[in-house]
Amino acid sequence: MTDDFSSLGLSSKVTDAVLAAGYTRPTEIQAQAIPHLLEKKDLIGIAQTGTGKTASFVLPMLTLLENGRARARMPRTLILEPTRELAAQVSENFEKYGKNHRLTMALIIGGVSFEDQNKKLDRGVDVLIATPGRLLDQIERGKIMLNGVEILVIDEADRMLDMGFIDDIEKIVNRLPPRRQTMLFSATMDGQIEKLTKKFLKDPVHVQVSRAASTADTIDQKLVKVSSKPDEKRAALRERIRASEGLTNAIIFCNRKRDVATLARSLERHGFSAGALHGDMDQKSRMETLDAFKGDRLTLLVASDVAARGLDIPAVSHVFNFDVPVHAEDYVHRIGRTGRAGRSGVAYTLVSSADSKHLDAILKLIEKPIEWLEVAAPQTARAAAEAASESDVESTGTERRKRPSRRRTKADAAQVQAPASASAPAAAVTTPEPEVVRVEQTAPSSNSRRRPAKRPEESTSSDTSAFGDAGPIPAFLLRPTRLSE
């Protein structure tokens, strides 16, 4: 593998910025992809998450864009990302590696005002980083014209397909000039990705530095058997967090957005520094939470899979899968948030009896066993007390109220209905029950209806009559019912 970035053909401005960022040796995907991209070839890059795919296209793109000038509303390059977080992450890479350039950049994502985006577009941008939905909105508004795009990057292509963006991508690509350079990067490769490459790329170079959907050897993976009951499962997670050695920060993944908020609140109530990140949050709240986690003001980040491929934080020490992912590929991306850039990391997956199907799919995909963590059978006194006392928290943020107990138990009702045995000891009856008076009535005719006696649990100590007093039965209730002919 190449020893340094200077031998890859990058400009001196780019290599100086890379060295200033603290990187001296390119990763395998960077060493293989960058020379081809500098020759303006189409490329398919397949590599596991955390191997430096973003820099693989950012660095050569900066070099290629040094000559030329952007025009208003006509970007020179387009980078499509599946999530807002990943788009923001790529923009940070451009700012870091492009600090020696005078290139302009715009981030077109949801949750940001159109007015701010339009100001940048009107001035002209060299690099446009966008999510498909917001980009199409701006195109329909007449704010962006794509006929000047020289370079197209489709990043996290497999995730694009999973999220249903294939139709949007086709609409966007159809607006691009046919003579362009196209790069497609993905962590996995399947039949759908191959169809995509045949449709959008011309004679692409294939670069695959590791088997698709493999996990990094720097990650210590463990399975933890837990109960499927939510409160006991949360208690087991807290115990695992406390018992984890060397934990500086961690990302905790849930399958559902509502469980993200629930778990984050639960951790906060038990004294942990935790925050939530999911798709229903507005963009400002999402960015504030991410900044707090990156700045070590939050220790635990509870997230849905929207963050699995959108975070590039080199020093995440642990990953916890609170839920086993439904899609096996998501497991690879989740645990890939730790053990990045050659660092070591730890990934725990909590597994209940209902997760066997999804776990089998993961083991089949990664083609390697995962060790079960041996834990003591009885819970610690602390965990047991927490599990017993914790109230479930609904997704709306309100605690579930305890169901009020019935006024009388079944045993009490049985005691009222059944006559006491003569041989039963007197001490067995501790609280006298009110006597139930059953009101019998004689039907005046065969067509009259009898009002059923009130059940014991409906009677009260101050009302022993079926009608609330000791008076006679109202006459209208004794009137015979006339049958229609």
In this prediction, residue 217 carries a pLDDT of 85
CA-nearest of 28, 356, 363 to 221 is 363
In this prediction, residue 150 carries a pLDDT of 94
- 5-208 maps to CATH 3.30.70.2740: no
In this prediction, residue 249 carries a pLDDT of 95
CA distance 304 to 262: 12
Which ranges constitute the DSSP H helices of 39-78?
A: 53-64
In this prediction, residue 169 carries a pLDDT of 92
**Angle, vertex CA 130, rays to CA 127 and CA 132, nearest 5:** 140
In this prediction, residue 49 carries a pLDDT of 65
Tokens at residue 246, please? 């060397």
The enclosing H or E element of 348 equals strand 345-351
In this prediction, residue 472 carries a pLDDT of 66
Q: Indicate where the chain has its CATH 3.40.50.300 domain(s).
A: 5-208, 219-389
* Mean pLDDT split into 10-residue runs, the chain, 485 residues: 81 94 89 95 84 90 86 88 88 92 90 83 90 92 91 90 87 93 86 84 89 78 94 95 94 92 95 90 84 93 76 86 91 87 89 94 91 65 56 44 44 43 40 44 46 44 47 67 60
SS3 345: strand
Sorted by sequence, the CB contacts under 8 Å of residue 53 that are 6+ apart come out as 29, 45, 47, 155, 185, 187
SS3 per-residue string spanning 105-145: EEEECCCCCHHHHHHHHHHCCCEEEECHHHHHHHHHCCCCC
In this prediction, residue 401 carries a pLDDT of 41
In this prediction, residue 481 carries a pLDDT of 65
CA dihedral 371, 376, 377, 380 (to 10 degrees): -130
Q: Right CATH number for 219-389 from 3.30.420.10, 3.40.50.300, 3.40.190.10, 3.40.228.10?
A: 3.40.50.300
